[in-house]
Every structure is written in C-alpha cells, then in structure tokens.
Amino acid sequence: MVKIDAKIPEGPLADKWKNYKNNQKLVNPANKRKLDIIVVGTGLAGASAAASFGEMGFNVKTFTIQDSPRRAHSIAAQGGINAAKNYPNDGDSIYRLFYDTVKGGDYRAREANVHRLAEVSNSIIDQCVAQGVPFAREYGGLLDNRSFGGAQVSRTFYAKGQTGQQLLLGAYQALMRQVNEGNVELHTRNEMVEIVMVDGKARGIISRNLVTGKLERHFAHAVVLATGGYGNTFFLSTNAMGSNGSAAMKAYKKGAMFANPCFAQIHPTCIPVHGEFQSKLTLMSESLRNDGRIWVPKKKEDAEAIRAGKLKPTEIAEEDRDYYLERRYPAFGNLVPRDVASRAAKERCDAGFGVGTTGLAVYLDFKSAIDRLGRDAIEARYGNLFQMYEKIVDDNPYETPMMIYPAIHYTMGGIWVDYELQTSVPGLFAAGEANFSDHGANRLGASALMQGLADGYFVLPYTIQNYLADDIATPRMTTEEKEFEEAENAAKGRFEKLMSINGEKSVDSLHKELGLVMWDFVGMARNKEGLQEAIEKIQAIKKEFWSNVRIPGSTGGMNVELEKASRLADFIEIGELMARDALHREESCGGHFREEYQTEEGEALRQDDKFAYSGCWAYKGEDQEPELNKEELTFDVVKLVQRNYK
Amino acid sequence: MSSTLGSSIGKKLLMSLSGLFLIMFLVVHLTVNSFLLIPDGGEFFNAGAHFMATTPAIRLIEPLLAIGFLVHILWGVKLTIENRRARGNARYASGKKTTGVTWASQNMLVLGITVGAFLVLHIAQFWVKMKLTGDPLLDHTTISIGGVETEVENAYALVNTTFSYLWIVVVYVIGAIGLAIHLSHGFWSAFQTIGFSNEIWRKRLTVLGNIFAWLMGLGFSLIAVLQYFFYQG
Amino acid sequence: MENTINIKLKVWRQAGPKAKGRFETFELKNISTDSSFLEMLDILNEQLINKGEEPVAFDHDCREGICGMCSLYINGRPHGPDDDVTTCQLHMRKFKDGQTITIEPWRSAGFPVIKDLIVDRGAFDKIIAAGGYVSVNTGGVPDANALPIPKPNADEAMDAASCIGCGACVAACKNGSAMLFVSAKVSQLALLPQGKVEGARRAKNMVAKMDELGFGNCTNTGACEVECPKGISLANIARLNREFLSAKAQD
C-alpha cells in the first residue's frame, strides 16, 4: 500500500485555498505561450477549463466525442446550481454550503476540497451572469433562488428547467471565443484512446478520429481529463448514450488511482423501464416531490390487478393506498434524500407491491396538490415535465398518477485527485464528475454543476500553473518520439484485437447483460454474497466479450459499433472495480447501501471507525487484482453524526 | 454600404424596400382605377389619368418605379438562385409535410413570375400605347377639371375597349389573384425583414397583410369584371 | 396490453461523404408502440448486426431532447410527425401498423452527409465562434446582482437561449437558411445588458460567417419555427434584422 498525499495546504480550513494561491508558483505570459495543455471532454468542467486556459495564454487542444462541444451531457442537468450568495437573506454562508455538502455526502469527502468548492461557488454565479446566462429573475430584476433537497436555505440559482444547458452554453461560448482567437484548437468527433507517458509524466494523448477512423498523436505539457462519470456501466441510466468511463480507465491503467468506484447515485424519480429494448432512462426533476405524493397499493391483490391491467390506480380507495415515505419518515415525508427515497421504492416493489406492467414502479400522485392548489398552479410549476412525461408514457399525469422508479444518475467515485486536482500520474489532471473529489458518498442536488464549473473556472487555472511552472524549460516534443509510437501501437493493437474477435453477440446485448448484473447486485442494495457473485458474473461477461463480440465494418472510417465495443470493454472493468469496492466497504453510506449494515429501521449505518477513508484502487496489470490504498479522511471542523430524516 | 447590401440581410432589405415601394404604387394605382367605376362616361378617370401624366413630381417618380420593379425582380431571381444552391442538390424523397407554412411563402418566385408575365401584357396594352405608340382610341376629349375645360387623352376609351374582351378580363383576374397571393406573404415579410415585427406585431401585420392583399387582388379584378359586364356600350 | 406494429423502413444509406447514397428498405415486426423512434432504430441495428451487416449510422446522445445531437428527417418532417419534440422523444405510437417510414438525413449544402443519416453541423460551431458570446474572461467580473435585468427581458432571453443547435431549422428551410439559429443567439445576448455592449459587432460577425458558410437567405416562410423542437420564435429573426441593420447603419 502506498502512502497517499493529498497535498492539502496548511492553515485553518477557511484559509487553505487563500494560502495556496498566495504561495503557488505562476507562469509568466511569455512562457504560457510555450506551454501546451490538452483538455479531454467539453462539458462544464472541460469547456470552462479550456476556455480559461486559453484566456490565460496557454496553447490548448480540446477533444470531444460529439459533433460539437455543446452536446456534452452537462447540458441535461435540469434543476440548478448552488452558491452561497445568501441573496435571500436566509442565513446561508460559505460555511453552511460546505457543511451541507459534507453532511449530504455522508462524511466521505475531503473537507479542504469541499470548503474550497463553497468558497468559489459565488464567483461561478458572477461569471455566468457576466457571460449572459439567462438565470431566472424576480420582478425587481435581481436573481431568483429556490430550495433543493438536503438544505434548509434557498441557494439554488436556475434557468427554467434547463440550468445545465444554459451554464454549458455559457462555457461553450467562452470556449468558442478562444477557438476564434486561435488559443484553443477544437477536435470534434475525436476520442482519446490512450495517454502518452514520457519519463513518468503525462505528455500527450492518442486519439481516434471518429469520422476517418485514423489514430492521431497529440503532445501537451499537461493533460486534463474532464470526461464525466461512468453511470452507463449499468447500461440503463439517465446518462447520455455516449457517456462513458473509458478515459478514466485509460488513466487508471497508466497509474492513476480510481477512488470510491462504488459510490453511485440512484435518482428516485425516473420514468420506469418499459421493455427490453429500452435504451435509456429519463429523469423527472426532483422538484416533483415537492407536490407529488408517493404511494403503492396497500393490498398485494390490488397491485397484482394493476399489473394485469384489470384495475386503474384512480380506482383504489384512499384507505387502500400506502404512502410509504410519509409513513416511514413523518418529518421529511416525500422529501427524504435521493438514496433514502430510492431504497424505499425498491423495498416496496421487491415486496410485491410494485405497479406498472413490470411491477417495478411506484406512483407519484398529484391529485391532492391539484385539489389544494388547482390544476393551473400545478401546470405553472411542472407543465413542461408533465408534457415530457405524457410524450414518453402516453398517460396524462393530471388525471392518472405518474409512475416512477429509481435509476442510476451520477457517479461520485472517479479518478483520485489531490487538492490540486492532479491524479496520481504527474501532469494528468481530472475535473468534474470524472474525478472523485467533492461529493463523498452522495451528491446533493444542484451541486454537480457547481463542482464542474468550480474545477474548470476557478481551481484548475491556478493549480495547473503550479505544475507547469516547473515545465517552462521543457520544449514541445515531436510526436515522432518512441513513446507516442508505442502508445499509438497499443491503441491500434487493441482496436485490431476487437475487430478480430468476429463472434456472435452484439455489443449492446453484452452491455445489457452487464447492466443487469450491475443493477441486481451492485445497485441500490448490496450484500457480500451478491457482490461476490457479481464479480464472477462480470468476469464471465468479460471472457464472453473478448471471445464472442461481433463488430461489423472495419477500423477505417466511421464505425459506431467499434466505438461502443471499445467503451464496453472499459465498462466491464469498471463494473468489476465497483463490485470490488462495494464488497470491501463493509458499511452503508450515501449511495452505497450494504444490507448487512443497517439500523433496525432499515437505515444506512456507517462504520466511521473502519471506513472513514477514500478507497483508492491501483491497477496492477491485466487479470491481476487491483491494490487498495486508503486516503484517510480527517474531519477537523465537521462532527460526524448519523443522518436522520425521521 | 456594399458589404451591407451584399449580405444576406442586405439583399433581403432591397427586396423589402422595393416591395414596400411597389405596395405604395399599388395603392395609388388602385385608387385611380377605382375612378373607372364612376358612371360619368370616364370623365373623372380621364382627369385622374391626366393628373398622373402631367404632374411633374409623379413624372419624376416614374423612373424610380421602374427601378423598383427591376430591383425587386432581379434580386428576387438572384436570391432564389442562391437559396437553391444553399439548399443543396439533394431533395427530400419524403417531401415536405411541415404544416402551418403558407403556400405563398414557399412560392414567391412562381407568384412573382405570374405577376411579371401579367405586367408585360399590361404594359404593352396601356403604358406603351399611352406613352410611346399612341392609339386611335386615345383621341383627345375635352373634360372639365376644376371648372376649366381641358383637352386630355381619352384613356377611359382605351381601358373600356380593352376590357370588352373576355380573355383579357380573365387574364387580368388571374394576374390580380396572383398579386394578392404574392402580397399575402410579401406584405408581412417586408416588415419582418426591416425588423419591424415581434410576437404581437407579427399577428397584426399578417392580418393587415392579408386584408391589404385581397383588397388589391379583388379590387383590380372587380374593376375589370365590372367594366366587362356593365360599362360596355 | 402492449400494442405492437409492423413497419417498413426506407432508410438513406451512404458509405461516406463522397459516396453515392441510396435508399435501403427494411421490414420490422412487432415493434412496441411504447418504444421511442431511436429505440426502434436500435432494434433494426441489432438485427443488422446479427446478420453481419453494417448498422445504420445516426446521431444521438442524451435521448431526452436537450443535447441537440439527434436529427433525422422522417416522413417529410425534421424530427418526425410529432410537434415540439426531438427525434429521440418521438414515439412509435405516432405511426400506424403497416406504415412505410422514410428516414433521411438533414439536407442542406451547409450540412454535408458524413455517413448514412449523420451530417456535419460544424458550421454552427463556426458561427458561434464568430461572435456568439460575451467577451469576458474568467474572473474580474462584477457581482451577479450588480446589474438588475427586467424579468420580461430575462425571460425572453431564456426563451431564445433554449435553442439546442440541432439544425432542424436549416433542414426544414427551403432556402437552407440558418437565420433562426443565428437570431436565437443574437437575440438572447442583445436582450441582456451584458451582451448589449458588443451587440453590433456580434450581429455583423455572425451574419457574415453565416453567409460565408453558404447558408441561404431567409424568406420568412416560418417553416423553421414550426419544426423547431424548442419553439424558437420568428420574432428573433426580426430582432436580428434590426440589430444587423442598425449596426450597419452606424458604420
């Protein structure tokens, strides 16, 4: 086991970031021009970082697998972005935002990082407003705020139900401005397939042009991965179809540790699965739980009749309904945190009370809200969501209760980074959802956007300078060097190997098999036996994949199946890593629920004496067990307590 | 300036301004034409025609009008060619099923050609005869203008005789309806192009545009038809 | 309970940008009407792969109507026969049993085909790069509440900003014009004091880039507005015309 140094600056918590900035090394403007940075991914973190680097004068190359940087999945975030502005004068502060985030993360995040996040949160709002992000405003012309789960204050800024879209477009536009000025070179439909290491440092990437199929070599003094999360390991998730964990896996195999892979967030209000050909799950905003009441039938025979289509939910009498969240958690009711609401839904469905044709759904009923507030008020609040639901399900939620079920939504785990967002590979940085840093075991609503932009606008521009200051004498390397050639050959060999399998099964069919194993054993509730079984099953899928996958076409030109296969190969390894991490973490915390570790009432039970650390997995070679390293978490400011929502 | 008019919006500006200018001309033209319906044997109409032919300010506008027509036609053709190129060579095999788009807006060139073809006939029948070649029907007649006995060309006789042929009336009605459909899009579109439109004004301008278009179209048609049926002999 | 339909697909296939394309016909049986349109294509591709044939290439990503990646011209309309949705939100219940569905790529000189149903919309990025932003660097900006913005303006800016850059406007336009896309961005920023500062420069540069890239001239047919999955209004084009003409008048 290696000793992990997170490089947390000295001083009291509130001064650490200031101290860091005061003492870090800088690069002068003339030298910035001589330094190249590669940014992989153009979501909130990637686009904001690349734009900021370009503005500072670095030479930037940025890569996206989509046809435009604006397609990154940050665009789909609905709710909002948190900041400690305290505009509503309701008692918010940087400390409270910090505290809520650490607590919401079930005490598995690094205090110093989270405090920095809270500190820069206000600058993010200023920056976005200056860019022309059309946040919601009040009649007086000032910014509006709303409340979100896990907080007692209103600190969430929003732009209709499309906050992620607007923030991403702001960052995208800043990025395109730098492209126009020649500071950023944009590579679209271009996927990083290998990291190039020279003398132990990340010095470039090999990428695959997804249109021509050609491999390209790119040098840089430092590489930033802002490639998002790995939720698609489950096949069905709220992630975009192209979201993948391959960049993270490439980094992992070059020596970057992967931290807390088992911390995956399950969102309680998604539209349920309807059939085996379903490709993706659609999230319905968490805000619906403000007015919707969640229930299932009290009698099993009613649930069975509903599943058989013989009974309608509206025909079930009030006294025959089980509003199980209100019953179990009288204090928070339907507004319990995401993980609690998700597990409660699964518990009811597993017990045979689920509805929908599959029995894997619960009702989210707006009838009492409509009776109380009127249909117009509900339409004003949720009209667009109701319409979206009706388009997908063909059911009118004003008349029939909505059906919802939990789905994988976000991964808190990711590439391990130190305080500077540098991975365990020198010169390789990770930002946004791709890193593991700020959310601990559970992410609060409206915090993902905050973290992505904090990393890109206000953290990396400082910390990467501190690294590059030592590199000003390093000249640009030609990509003819043997390290580039070796890396390209490795990537080429991998693609050729995939093409040569020529088996019977499609990539998607294998991915679905993996997804089912993940959902059944590494999903909302996990246990030792199940996780052990999952590892075996995943290894079997891996064997099946490498011997029986079928990829039509060739490596030349556009080949979507080859792209998917390459990503699935990595998902399989991430899946195994998730299962291993979940198996080793013998406690329940945040998004990780081990059935063996729960209170008598069925609530998550942490084991702080044994597991108050981040589990950091190091790659030890093909078919070798990875090595677990621990970054102990010390809490100087926050006191650890059991979460209680009763 | 050249960069303004060379830009896509600039080119459209020329279409818009020339179109609005032609719209003003149409108003004047219809007003004078409406004199044809006064049952005074054409006296008032001849007075109007005389006024139009002799007032210096109107004589000065005439070449401008020609330029207006020319710009509107030439740029219309130019824009259509450019737009076909921008559209690319490939066409949709499944056609266009977008609803709520007016037929007129998609066929302005066709409508323009219809109106243009009519215009050629119209100019040959009246303008050429009145300004260049002359015609026995135009022999001078004496009318009273403001109490003064004035000798003027008998434009009424030419018009009245022309509209005694059924085929000409039919052609005029077709031309006028083509014009109405052209205007039903053109009127609103001209304002949109100069930027004089928003959510509210768009509705107003389209309603106004439609009323105006059919006022013009039916007005010109009706005069020809009535001339044919009720003003002969 | 579950309804299924049998359909016939006529799909545009084109091996590469320069290759000659053609329609290929496929038959699909027992498609659940609850499937989304793209899930139906997934099923088609699964069948093609199992037969050892190349699957149909099409753009898609978020599958919830916000990323703007999916395209497809379906039975005469961009994003298919439903209103106010992207192709990924279109469901098979909008089609009848036995129906023939024709699927084509966006057709416009500004969007060349890359493969099958995938087109290159890079031109949109270039137009944004020409001026679709507020020129502020990270840091050194005033407090977010320093400048009050009237709520109606902020709301209207938000409506314009909801453009997802999918290109349906260009695909629907008989002139291959990108005016709705350009006007949405120019409008959004012109409505906000932060963007107003360089409004004139932005309008000129973005229009010049749009023209340079070969998009057509707007003739106000309104087809773009009808087919826009986000309901971007033609009023934005009027505003762009105003912004552009007044900017030019000031030169």
Catalytic residue among A116, A289, A307, A338: A338
pLDDT of residue A578: 98
Chains C and B touch (3+ CB pairs under 8 A): yes
pLDDT level of residue B1 (50, 70, 90 thresholds):
low
Nearest to A326 by CA among A106, A646, A600, A2: A646
Query: Do B16 and C215 form a contact (C-beta atoms < 8 A)?
Result: no
Q: Is residue B59 part of a domain?
A: yes
Check: complex ipTM more than 0.95: yes
Domain of B130, in residue numbers: 30-65+104-230
Specify the 3-state DSSP secondary structure of C187: helix
Q: CA A443 → CA A105, A429, A451, distances in Å?
A: 6, 21, 10
- Render pLDDT for C60-82 as a digit per residue (tens, 0 to 9): 999 999 999 999 999 999 999 99
The class level of CATH for A482-606 reads mainly alpha
Per mean pLDDT, which of A336-350, B48-62, B162-176 is the most reliable?
B162-176
In a domain, B20, yes or no: no
The secondary structure element, H or E, covering residue A286 is: none
Task: Tell me the average pLDDT across A19-37.
Answer: 97
Bridge partners, residue A116, by sequence: none
Whole-angstrom distance, CA of residue C73 vs CA of residue A544: 38
**At residue A486, does pLDDT exceed 50?**
yes
B chain contacts of residue C243, beta-carbon cutoff 8 Å: 195
pLDDT in tens, A72-98: 999 999 889 999 999 999 999 999 999
Question: How far is Cα A479 from Cα A216, in angstroms, rounded to an integer?
Answer: 9
Return the percentage of chain C with pLDDT > 70, whole number. Answer: 99
Q: Domain A268-407, what architecture?
A: Alpha-Beta Complex (3.90)
With residue A402 as reference, give the H or E element that holds it.
strand A402-411
Pick from A191, A189, A217: nearest CA to A203:
A217
d(CA B187, CA B213): 8
- How far apart, in Å, do the first and last CA atoms of chain C sit? 67
- Residue A464 in this model has a pLDDT that exceeds 80: yes
Is residue B111 domain-resident?
yes
Nearest to B98 by CA among C86, A126, C222, C33: C222
A110 is catalytic: no
* A241 to chain C: closest CA residue: C61
Give the fold, CATH level 3, of C4-114: Ubiquitin-like (UB roll) (3.10.20)
**Residues of chain C positioned with their CB less than 8 A from the CB of B85:** 109, 214, 216
Give the residue carrying structure tokens 């001209």. B190
Number of A/C CB contacts below 8 angstroms equals 227
Spans of all domains in chain A:
268-407, 482-606
In a domain? residue B25: no
Distance from chain centroid for Cα A464:
23
**Which range is most confident: A332-346, A536-550, B88-102?**
A536-550
Among C186, C170, C158, residue whose Cα is nearest residue C227: C170
pLDDT digits (tens, 9 = 90+) for B173-202: 999 999 999 999 999 999 999 999 999 999
The count of other CB atoms within 10 Å of the CB of residue A532 is 14
The answer for residues whose C-beta is within 8 angstroms of residue A228's C-beta and 6 or more apart is A41, A43, A72, A73, A239, A243, A244, A432, A433, A434
Closest partner CB to C133 (pick from A128, A173, A274) = A173
Helices (H) and strands (E) in chain A, counts: 19, 19
CA distances from A480 to A224, A483, A490, B175 (A): 22, 8, 15, 72
Yes or no: domain C122-250 corresponds to CATH 1.10.1060.10: yes
| Whether the predicted pLDDT of C40 surpasses 70 | yes
Domains of chain C, by residue range, sit at: 4-114, 122-250
- Who among C109, C223, C243 is closest to B98 (CB)? C223
> How many domains does chain B contain in total?
1
Subunits next to B (3 or more Cβ pairs <8 Å) are C
Q: How far apart are the first and last CA of chain B?
A: 56
Q: Is C80 left (phi over 0), alpha (psi -120 to 50) or beta?
A: left
DSSP string, A111-174: HHHHHHHHHHHHHHHHHHHHHT----B-TTSSBP-B--TT-SS--EE-STT-HHHHHHHHHHHH
Its pTM stands at 0.96
User: pLDDT tens across A346-364, in order?
Assistant: 999 999 999 998 899 999 9
Asked if pLDDT for residue A490 goes beyond 70, the answer is yes
Across the interface, do C77 and B97 touch by the CB < 8 Å criterion?
yes
Half-sphere exposure of A2 (CA within 13 A, CB side): 14
pLDDT attached to residue A88: 95
Q: What are phi and psi of A529, to 5 degrees?
A: -60, -45
Whether B151 and chain C come into contact, CB under 8 Å, resolves to no
A 10 A CB-CB count for C8 gives: 13
Q: For the residues of C135-169, what is the DSSP string, one character each?
A: ---SS----TTSS---HHHHHHHHHHHT-----HH
C-alpha to C-alpha distances, A424 to A10, A110, A258, A427, A555, nearest whole angstrom: 21, 16, 9, 9, 32
Share of chain B residues as helix, strand and coil, in percent rounded to the nearest 5: 75, 5, 20
Task: List the single residue in A75, A159, A392 with the smallest CB-CB distance to C158.
Answer: A159
C-beta of residue A627 within 8 angstroms of C-beta of residue A618: yes
Rounded mean pLDDT of A619-625? 93
Report pLDDT for C1: 43
Residues composing chain B: 233
Q: How many CA atoms lie within 13 A of A128 on its CB side?
A: 35
Collect all residues of chain C within an 8 Å Cβ-Cβ radius of residue B189.
Answer: 219-220
